[in-house]
Amino acid sequence: MLFMSARSEPGAYTEKRQAPWPVIAWLLICCALVFAMVVLGGVTRLTGSGLSMVDWNPVKGIIPPLSQGDWERLFEQYRQFPEFRYVNQDMTLAGFKVIFLFEYAHRVLGRLIGLVFFVPLVWFWWRRRLSGAVKPHLVALFVLGGLQGLLGWFMVMSGLVDVPRVSQYRLTAHLCLAVAIYGYMLFVALELMRGDLASFMRRARYPSVFPPVLLIVVFVIIASGGFVAGTHAGHIYNTFPDMNGQLIPDGLFAENPRWLNVFENPVTIQFDHRMLAYLLVVLVTANRVILARAGLQSLLPAANLLLVLVLLQASIGIATLLHKVPPPLGAMHQAGALMVFSAAIWLFQRSRHVGA
């Protein structure tokens, strides 16, 4: 309904050709699966399950342990690595099964996404249901999906040697690539909904600087959240709006060189994440006011949704911090970040076609 209502307004979309709805539906299903994948990845991290599978086999790895002997063999493999020796010395086979199943589900879902994307892609291509304009983007998405799988294993490898903790750099890269794939796919689907394939992904002049800026800021905040997760920065300074009684905490520049604090100092990382969140609240509020005053009515549904989701996400983030990142709240916060990102993409995509 939101898309339909925009057609009667100045600057609304004009339909020049029937939208390829089977292709759009397929892409949206893939988006939903990637969304679930990102959230499940967050749950895997929050439950300490990410290092429970100590090898990577793209084909045989899809077969689950089927017998007691299989479970005992996998548990024995896990016992040879630092996480068991230094963190989970008291873990039993029953406990191992729990963390293993989270990581196993995460990997199987990744393979399922690859299958759900690749098979229809081949079919649509063979049936000539894809325009020449969209084909390169779909191929790019497929390649990025493969790279994401490799990056995931590269991330896990960082926690299997010496210190049983995944590198925050690799974790954030893995998160950011997943979010980028999700956003790219959603953007392609939204562009196809216009039905104007002649102008698909064309360069555009934006009626306001806010939509592209907001999209960038949201992505940067998600990356910042990756560093918060990777350094466990959410487990310190569990007060709000102050940080243990201080507005600017001590130790912001404890690391040398100073720029390293942004990526490796948990105090600085949490402080930056808070400041970026404040900035986003200000920007989305200003965006809503400015678009309304400019009479850009066709952009207001997306702007309103973005504002509501940002305020909701901020509330979830505060609750997550105050309760020291319990897995349910942490997973909700990660899902909320993707919802905010989705709304930012919708606003960005609509703003490209104002006046078209």
Residue 67: is it exposed, middle or buried by C-beta count within 10 angstroms (0-12/13-18/19+)? exposed
Q: Encoding tokens for residue 291?
A: 């678009």
The residues that bridge with 246 in the sheet, in sequence order, are: 243
Q: Please report the pLDDT score of residue 162 as a whole number.
A: 85
Contact 162, 134 (CB under 8 A): no
* Cα 140-219-347 angle, rounded to 5 deg: 85
In the numeric block, the tokens 């969209």 are attached to: 134
State whether the Cα torsion 184-187-193-199 is positive or negative: negative
| Nearest-angstrom CA–CA distance, 95 and 231 | 24
Contact 207, 303 (CB under 8 A): no
Q: Please report the pLDDT score of residue 10 as a whole number.
A: 39
| Nearest-angstrom CA–CA distance, 2 and 346 | 11
Q: Please report the pLDDT score of residue 355 as a whole number.
A: 63
Pick from 239, 138, 223: which is nearest to 173 by CA? 223
pLDDT, averaged per 10 consecutive residues of the chain (356 residues), comes to: 34 53 96 98 95 87 92 95 92 96 96 97 95 93 96 93 91 98 97 73 72 97 98 97 95 93 97 98 97 92 98 98 97 98 96 76
Q: Please report the pLDDT score of residue 7 as a whole number.
A: 36
Indicate yes or no: pTM above 0.85.
Answer: yes
- Residue 90 has φ and ψ, to the nearest 5°, of -95, 5
State whether residue 246 is helix, strand or coil.
strand
**What number of residues does the chain have?**
356
| Nearest-angstrom CA–CA distance, 268 and 247 | 12
